[in-house]
Amino acid sequence: MIAWHLRLGIGRVSIVPDPDRGSLGHIETKVPRWIDPDVDLSPAAQDWLQRRIQMSLAGRASEKLFTGRWNHVGARGDYRSATDLALYVCGSSEEISAFIKWLDLRTRATVKFHGAQIAKVAAALLEHHTLRPRDVERLIQEWYKEAGAHRRAIREGKAE
């Protein structure tokens, strides 16, 4: 869900454990052909890396928001991925640490802002286990439609 808002080009989203990846669930993202951080660290490439790091941190932030606890074990691979990507942008371990902390703060704010949408997608994942990109898009668009109808009802005095 956060990947969708960050415009990362999502593929399948799944909560099915994948022993080959060592994950309890995953989201497939599309890496643009022009992304090659070993060669290109243009502002556009840095922006993509930053958004990709935020996506890696979003699962942990969502779990904290909805369960009230951090899952350090389950998020270990995501955090490692975020750190590996930060190596392309940062020059020292101190800079990496500060960069990850800053992106983690931004990610937590984004997760909190989109919490209702995350809950809607999570509920669909619990029911179906795997969602295609168009399923995620449909769920988010449904949420916007429902939220708009609710706001109109409030303005018209027909809802709380």
What residues make up the domain containing 9?
Answer: 2-155
59 in any annotated domain: yes
Q: Are strands 10-14 and 26-29 parallel, antiparallel or unpaired?
A: antiparallel
Given this model, what pLDDT does residue 17 score?
A: 82
- Stated pTM of the model: 0.83
34 in any annotated domain: yes
64 in any annotated domain: yes
48: CATH: 1.20.58.760
160 in any annotated domain: no
Given this model, what pLDDT does residue 134 score?
A: 94
As a whole-number percent, the residues of the chain with pLDDT over 70 amount to 94
Number of domains present in the structure of the chain: 1
Mean pLDDT rounded to a whole number for the chain: 88
Report the candidate in 65, 71, 67, 61 with the shortest Cα–Cα distance to residue 105: 61
Mean pLDDT of 22-34: 80
In this structure, what token pair is assigned to residue 119?
């809950």
pLDDT tens digit sequence for 106-128: 999 999 999 999 999 999 999 99
Does the pLDDT at position 24 exceed 90? no
- CA angle, corner 151, sides to 146 and 153, nearest 5? 95
Report the candidate in 135, 113, 134 with the shortest Cα–Cα distance to residue 2: 113
111 in any annotated domain: yes
Other beta carbons less than 10 A from residue 74's beta carbon:
14
125 in any annotated domain: yes
Q: What is the 3-state secondary structure (H, E, C) of 22-87?
A: CECCEEEECCCCCCCCCCCCCHHHHHHHHHHHHHHHHHHHHHHHHHCCCCCCCCHHHHHHHHHHHH
How many Cα atoms sit within 13 Å of 32 on the Cβ side? Answer: 15
pLDDT tens digit sequence for 66-80: 888 876 666 788 899
